[in-house]
A and B are shown apart, each in its own frame.
Chain A
Amino acid sequence: MASTGQRIALPGRAAVWLGWAFVERQTNLWKRYWAWELVWLVYGVVNTLAITFIAKQVDQAGLAGGQSVSSLVLFLLLGTLVWAYLSAVLDDVSLVVTWERWEGTIEHTLMAPVPRWVHLMGMAVFGVLHAVVRTLLIFAIALPFFSVELGQANWLAAALVIAVGSVSVAGLGILAGVLPLIYPERGTQMSFMLQALILLVSGVYYSVDVLPAWLRIFSVVSPATYILNGIRGAIIDGKGPADLAGNLLTLALFGAVLVPGGIAVFGMAERWAKKTGQLKRQG
């Protein structure tokens, strides 16, 4: 792929400036879709509450009590919040093509002199910022409903896990975004299916130990597994960055593979779409 624009000498500042155009655009777009934002927020809150209430039910039914229930509440609360965060990043990044196709702007965006990696990074940065805001809101709204113990939490370690983990999720999002580029009709559904699979295998609402052995293979290769592990380690067990070094390293490795890999695959898919005329079929 010597053709996707690497020939423009691009100093770091110019790349950031170009990439930021996408962050700004997505912000402008979302402003117009604030009603949807509200829908997702309500959905996120309800989802978080519903799942965490399961733990309360366990308490009231006398299945378990005391300490074990409050740790279950925290376990589930963190699971739903992290999932809200991850799915928001995945959604935003993987919509890179779908959205442009829907608006009819894809050709104009793809012919702009922006190297594809800068474009994709811009989308990823917006995705992460967007997801942070949304998740913090859900967290703030849901927190008063439960009495959870957060005194032991190591917030710095948690933030580190999210920061490092977001890179690999952005990589996954880019890979998922390739599908609508190759399959204009069904690609979006396929990337939602990919999300569902990640939800199943990564231990969002349960420990991955409960999965059948063959499914556990997938949880090993899902970066979400390590993000959830790391976050729970930091907040429930109060582990510090040093205790989570293994986790962080794995996540960094995922990021180092998935982001360049995703960008390369995107480049190949773009080339194929331009060869076969799949970019857009009208006009």
Chain B
Amino acid sequence: MNEQPLVVSGVSKYFGGGFSARRLLPWKGRDGAGRREPVQVLRDVSFDVRRREIYGVIGANGSGKSTLIRILSTLLLPDAGQVRAFGLDVVQDAGAVRALINRVSADPSFFRNMSALENLLFFGRVYGLSPGDIRRKLPDILARLGFEFEKAREPMSHLSRGQQQKIAVARSFLTAPVLMLLDEPTTGLDPRSKRDVQAFIRRVQLEHDATIVLTTHDMAEAEELCDRIAFIAGGRIVAEGTPLALRQRVADGRPVEGIDMEDVFMELTGRSIQEDEVPAEVMASG
């Protein structure tokens, strides 16, 4: 496996569109057409991630981060472009790619009435781990995340959101993926838990030779963890580089240490991180 962990070239994705019979009704359709306009949420996205790199993707709500992560995790099919993970095409060789990757999403998504342990046993087993392996690996992983092992025997629904998120992080690292897709892994965590998770991500990168793609709304986290960062706005990557290089782009003679990363983001994307992304199609037409 000497191939590059991730090569994304020219990926575009549209949502919506297609035929809608309702639009044919005289009082519904604007120009009597039965087709809805598709909305483009990713526009010709290209980047690549090197081995053992942590690559950050930062953008406002609705800018297309999760859509991108889903395409990388074989959960959405791109409408144009190609994604290769370790030389394998995520569409054509989805089965082989799945064995190499895992993903943490912003919402933990577990079987609520099963215990954390039962959930982890299931999600580990479908990656080919034996129950024995899983029980052996878990205490260490959970301890590093600051999660009390005994609590793992309780139903998922008894855990707080932050605790669930830690189990979600544990679930994905349990399977020792070589490419890790982290979609806002620390959202909803208290400052201390956030640190636990961040330290854990760092450690996995160092010890397990893993490559990581990370989305976040937390600029400090991005700076702390990421080797390179891409700013995404309106489904397009508008800037990419090391945190330092990005600062330098807006420095304009000022000392780079004094520049707030959030200002860098605003300047390079033309909007604030809190601002919602206007869907691209609407923006173009009005």
B112 on interface, CB distance cutoff 8 Å: yes
A-B contact count (CB 8 A): 109
Give the docked Cα–Cα distance between A105 and B121 (Å).
14
Known contacts A5-B98, A8-B96; is A24 also within 8 Å of B122 by CB?
Answer: yes
Minimum C-beta distance from B179 to chain A (A) = 12
Which residues between 135 and 166 of chain B lie within 8 Å of chain A, taking CB atoms?
Answer: 155
Give the docked Cα–Cα distance between A277 and B18 (Å).
13
Beta-carbon contact of B111 and A3 below 8 Å: no
In the complex, what residue of chain B is closest to A27 when comparing beta carbons? B118
A186 on interface, CB distance cutoff 8 Å: no
Give the docked Cα–Cα distance between A33 and B114 (Å).
10
Interface size on A, residues (CB 8 A): 38
- Which residues of the partner chain A approach B76 to less than 8 Å between Cβ atoms? 274-275, 277, 279
- Which residues of the partner chain A approach B200 to less than 8 Å between Cβ atoms? none
Known contacts A7-B93, A7-B96, A277-B76; is A112 also within 8 Å of B113 by CB?
Answer: no
Contact of A112 among B96, B126, B155, B183 (CB under 8 A): B126
Beta-carbon contact of B106 and A111 below 8 Å: no
Beta-carbon contact of B126 and A21 below 8 Å: yes
Known contacts A28-B118, A277-B76; is A112 also within 8 Å of B123 by CB?
Answer: yes
Beta-carbon contact of B77 and A4 below 8 Å: no
Contact of B107 among A14, A22, A104, A279 (CB under 8 A): A104
In the complex, what residue of chain B is closest to A281 when comparing beta carbons? B15
Beta-carbon contact of A111 and B95 below 8 Å: no
Known contacts A24-B125, A29-B114; is A107 also within 8 Å of B93 by CB?
Answer: no
A132 on interface, CB distance cutoff 8 Å: no
Minimum C-beta distance from A203 to chain B (A) = 37
Which residues between 218 and 245 of chain A lie within 8 Å of chain B, taking CB atoms?
Answer: none
Which residues between 87 and 130 of chain B lie within 8 Å of chain A, taking CB atoms?
Answer: 91-96, 98-99, 101, 103, 105-107, 109-114, 118, 121-123, 125-128
Point out which of A3, A29, A33, A110 has the most chain B C-beta atoms below 10 A from its C-beta. A3
Give the docked Cα–Cα distance between A108 and B168 (Å).
10
Beta-carbon contact of B109 and A18 below 8 Å: no
The 9 A-B residue pairs with the shortest CB-CB distance, nearest first, are A5-B95, A21-B125, A32-B113, A112-B126, A113-B99, A113-B98, A104-B109, A25-B122, A3-B94
- Contacts A108-B171, A115-B95, A277-B15 aside, 4 further interface pairs with beta carbons under 8 A come to A7-B93, A8-B95, A105-B110, A275-B79
Please list 27 pairs of residues, one from A and one from B, whose beta carbons are closer than 8 Å in the complex, sorted by A's number. Answer: A2-B92, A3-B91, A3-B92, A5-B96, A6-B95, A17-B128, A18-B126, A18-B128, A21-B125, A22-B126, A25-B118, A28-B111, A28-B114, A28-B122, A103-B111, A104-B107, A105-B109, A110-B75, A111-B75, A112-B98, A112-B123, A113-B95, A113-B96, A113-B127, A277-B76, A279-B76, A283-B106
